[in-house]
Structure 1
């Protein structure tokens, strides 16, 4: 009888320990399968935000590990880029980003929005040159980019000119593109210029300034209507 009681007691202890172990394993398994992790602080050089299928959507990176950019799901050639955020769309193209940095000579921050299949068409920017002749520019800038000259073609065009290593031929090639309407043209700037003027500056389809509404560094107001040659129209 005493032997039976002792065996029953051992079985109870075993069952209790087994229950505790199973419970701990269940909790650990649940935590391992949880889709949400909580960190109070984390140091990281780069974070890739991807879709479920692995498609890259955003990169948060330091300068050394920054993404070079992507066109049609293909990475561009490695190049130096500042730390920040780079966005990618479902077409496999870079479509904008936020970069920033500063050193002894200059500093700046730029938020860019890219046109489909090509480069930026809108930027919120701050740029400053340090030193005695300090120049500071900040504001909103817009560009026009043609639909028939995508970024892939621009890269091929520029690579072919680099291989030629002929400044005269390069100048003629760019002039031909301008005649064909394939070059980018700045159209609008609202902000502060390097000369200290604060206002709105609008350009025509050829990139020539045609209207300026601003206050200069001496607090004088200006509304200038310009012709194609930059002359004031009275």
Structure 2
């Protein structure tokens, strides 16, 4: 009888240690494997990094979205839509894909940022679903001066402290005069007014060439001088 009890105790202990060993082996294999397969993952944010930890890509919901980094400095926390933010080897944000849609506004934007600065190219779609008004196409910008991001941010912070709308408008005009704001250079696509075509501006942002189909389905070609005066129309 005693021998039977000893054998039973031994078998229980053996089974327990075998189970523990198996679980430890599975855990080790799972944690050391580079290739893992999942059916479905619910996640609020994913950071894609290099082996040294450098951030290269953030995929996130709106609440956890990265605020961005320019010239090695993290931008203040701000509200940004869900999407993807790309980072270059300097650690700066260099573009991204964002999207959202609500009753009065829908948009999807793929942006390419200038090195050390803000966006210079976008593939964009925006719409007011209630009014059935939409714009979509390729948008290009230029910055009149190089390396003006820090100066621009300083001015924006100063403008936020101003109390009246008039003061803010004057401050924005001063920024434009000081070449701190970007200028729209070209749009290829459909505008809110239903004009579809190519719209080209000079380096000050003034319209110079328009080649488009108007809302009445008529083709048009227009050229403007430096003062915005129409000089040729076909």
- The 2-side partners of 1:158 and 1:147 are apart by 17
Distance 1:167 1:27, change over 3 A: closer
Local SS of the residue matching 2:230: coil
**Aligned-pair CA distance for 1:169:** 4.6
Residue 196 of structure 2 corresponds to residue 198 of structure 1: yes
Deviations 1:74-124 (A, max 9, x none): 321121111100111122221110000111111110000000111000000
**Aligned residues between the structures:** 219
| 2:146 aligned residue | 148
Rounded to whole Å, the distance in 2 between the matches of 1:37 and 1:159 is 46
CA distance in 1: counterparts of 2:106 and 2:217, whole angstroms: 27
SS in 2 for 1:160: helix
Residue 13 of structure 1 corresponds to which residue in structure 2?
A: none
Alpha-carbon spacing, 1:167–1:20, altered in 2? closer, same or farther (3 Å): closer
Q: Within the alignment, does 1:226 sit opposite 2:224 as a pair?
A: yes
Q: How many Å separate the matches in 2 of 1:175 and 1:21?
A: 72
- CA shift for structure 1 position 150: 3.2
Whose radius of gyration is greater, 1 or 2?
A: 1
Q: Secondary structure at the match of 2:41?
A: coil
CA contact under 8 A between 1:97 and 1:113: conserved in structure 2? yes
Distance 1:176 1:22 in 2: 72
- Normalising to structure 2: TM-score of the pair? 0.83
| 8 Å CA contact 1:74, 1:92 repeated in 2 | no
**Gap runs ≥5 in structure 2:** 1-16
Range 184-193 or range 80-89, more displaced: 80-89
* Counterpart-to-counterpart distance in 2, 1:161 and 1:225: 36
SS at match of 2:156: helix
Q: C-alpha separation between the residues in 1 aligned to 2:172 and 2:218? A: 38
1:233 partner SS = strand
Say what the alpha-carbon RMSD is for the aligned residues: 2.6
CA drift of 1:19 comes to: 10
Shift of the alpha carbon at 1:204? 0.4
Q: Distance in 2 between matches of 1:113 and 1:196?
A: 26
How far has the Cα of 1:26 moved from its partner? 5.3
